[in-house]
Amino acid sequence: MLEIKDLHAGFEGVEIVKGVSLTVNRGEVHAIMGPNGSGKSTLSKVLAGHPAYEVTAGSITFDGKNILDMDPEQRALEGIFLGFQYPVEIPGVNNAEFLRMAYNAQRVHKGEDELDPLEFDDLLVEKMKLVSMDPRYKDRALNDGFSGGEKKKNEILQMAVLNPQLGLLDETDSGLDIDALKAVSAGINKLASKDNALILITHYQRLLNYIEPHFVHVFSHGKIVKSGDKKLALEVEEQGYDWVATATK
């Protein structure tokens, strides 16, 4: 489904992603682990089409289509979803209304009728149950004054509503206490299916105690330096990232 080949990308002439290749198929959960500043968030933003980043070499195809030619909206309509490491607060934009607009954009793209607020409400309430989110967050402004954990839950709610082919979750576990981590992980596990794929970007192994990845990739200095199964995550936890960097030299 997703094929990244020798991707180089950066910001204002500084290369941050330095030759990433990765293949992700339907039904797979991949974890990308790496130290702070190694370029994980940059990779996720490049996949989502963030305009601040420039791709200087390599290719990204999604279902055989070159997505580098697509703007972020098109990529989203193709089924790519990015859950942000730092979700933005948008005062004045109602959470439910925002979700309905995003959801309806997809329906229109597929040639279906838009849902009106009442119809959408039924769907939203279902999805909020799925991610154990209190329905009162419907009526709040988007992430406005949300705690760190509530923002992350809201990202998972967005993913639940949009039902993407590929979910990229950037440090969804960071800033969560143990109960929030369990709730968010349970929501993610319910959303993972044989028809979609997930890439979990994380600094810590602990998320992987709750969501079992099929593949683990260690990211360092803009590259995947080692790939393996979930045992690799435990090795990293025990030995630290320096161990991987040294072991692959």
List residues near Mg ion by CB under 5 A: 36, 40-41, 85
- Least Å from the CB of residue 36 to ligand ADP: 4
**Contact status: 87 vs ligand ADP (CB under 6 A):** no
Instruction: For residue 173, give the 3-state DSSP assignment.
Output: coil
- The rounded Cα 240 to chain-centroid distance in angstroms is 24
For residue 199, how many C-alpha atoms fall within 13 Å in the half-sphere facing its CB? 30
**Contact status: 172 vs ligand ADP (CB under 6 A):** no
Measured CA distances, 74 to 79, 96, 106 (Å) = 9, 22, 10
Site string for ligand ADP, 124-163 (x = CB under 6 A): ----------------------------------------
CB 201 within 8 A of CB 168: yes
- Least Å from the CB of residue 108 to Mg ion: 32
Q: Quote the CA–CA distance of 225 and 218 in Å, as a whole number.
A: 6
Which backbone phi and psi does 12 adopt, to 5 degrees?
45, 50
Comparison of 40 and 151: residue with beta carbon closer to Mg ion: 40
Tokens found for residue 96? 């439910």
Comparison of 100 and 152: residue with beta carbon closer to Mg ion: 152
- Least Å from the CB of residue 32 to Mg ion: 10
Comparison of 50 and 138: residue with beta carbon closer to ligand ADP: 50
**Contact status: 49 vs ligand ADP (CB under 6 A):** no
